[in-house]
């Protein structure tokens, strides 16, 4: 079950932005560990509030993501082992919306699907599959929107990155992360970091 602390907070008062949490479905520990870690780190770096690894547990992955967050800052949470059905039910009960990223969805470039999602102002659970997802993911029972980044086979990590960049209009690329112990100093050549 999603921790109430991390459930969507839907309120018109003091709302500054829609919160986005990624729900990763279909993770296979020995096959998908590297890609799932990239999905989690992309979510964190590009403005998401948290990551839920559904129906599976991977302690090494959780440790990696939490260590990155501890060192590089931010308030990014990681949960695992929750049933996707329960997670979605809880999210919807708090007026959150479900966006399923799929190559078969409404094309983000040629439709107005992104504007429809933003206009709702509800917090978003982004459903990102690993293996072939159940057919029910495409229905109203699960997802409010099926969104594609182009309509060709592609990586879920790239789909997530493009969706978040379009959603936040590039502003996430200059975000600062609170409580960071390490910060990169951008420069033309070489590598430089600061310990804070």
Which residue ranges make up each domain of the chain? Answer: 17-195
The reported pLDDT for the residue numbered 35 is 86
What pLDDT score was predicted for residue 66?
A: 96
pLDDT score of 28: 72
For the chain, the straight-line distance linking the first and the last C-alpha, in angstroms and rounded, comes to: 36
Rounded Cα distance between 81 and 84, Å, is: 9
Q: Which residue shows structure tokens 């039910």?
A: 89
> Helix, strand or coil for residue 86?
helix
Quickly name the fold that domain 17-195 has. Alpha/beta knot (3.40.1280)
Predicted TM-score (pTM) above 0.85: yes
**Can you give the pLDDT at residue 30?**
67
pLDDT number for residue 79: 96
By the 10 Å C-beta count (0-12 exposed, 13-18 middle, 19+ buried), 139 is classed as exposed
Instruction: Specify the pLDDT at position 29.
Output: 66
Query: At 84, phi and psi to the nearest 5?
Result: -65, -35
Residues 14-37: what's their mean pLDDT? 78
pLDDT single digits (tens) 154-175: 889 999 999 999 999 999 999 9
What does DSSP assign to residue 162? H
d(CA 133, CA 82) in angstroms, rounded, equals 17
Separation of alpha carbons 46 and 168, rounded Å: 9
Q: Over pLDDT 70: what percentage of the chain? A: 90
Residue 10 clears pLDDT 60, i.e. is over it: no
Q: Which residues 6+ apart lie within 8 Å of 67 measured at CB? A: none
Q: How far is CA 142 from the centre of its chain?
A: 17
């Amino acid at each position: 079950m999603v921790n109430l602390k991390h459930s969507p907070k839907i309120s018109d008062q003091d709302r500054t932005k829609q919160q986005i949490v990624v729900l990763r479905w279909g993770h296979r520990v020995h096959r998908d560990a590297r890609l799932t870690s990239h999905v989690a780190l992309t979510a964190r770096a590009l403005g998401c509030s948290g990551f839920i690894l559904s129906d599976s547990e991977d302690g090494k992955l959780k440790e990696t993501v939490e260590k990155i967050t501890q060192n590089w800052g931010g308030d990014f949470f990681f949960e695992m082992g929750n049933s996707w059905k329960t997670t979605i039910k809880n999210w919807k009960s708090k007026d959150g919306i479900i966006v399923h990223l799929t190559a078969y969805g409404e094309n983000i470039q040629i439709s107005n699907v992104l504007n429809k999602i933003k206009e709702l102002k509800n917090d978003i659970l982004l459903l990102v599959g690993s293996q072939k997802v159940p057919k029910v993911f495409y229905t109203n029972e699960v997802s409010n929107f099926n969104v594609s980044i182009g309509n060709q086979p592609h990586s879920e990590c790239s789909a997530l990155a493009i969706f978040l960049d379009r959603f936040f209009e590039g502003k996430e690329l200059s975000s600062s992360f609170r409580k960071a112990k390490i910060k990169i100093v951008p420069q033309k050549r070489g590598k430089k970091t600061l310990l804070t």
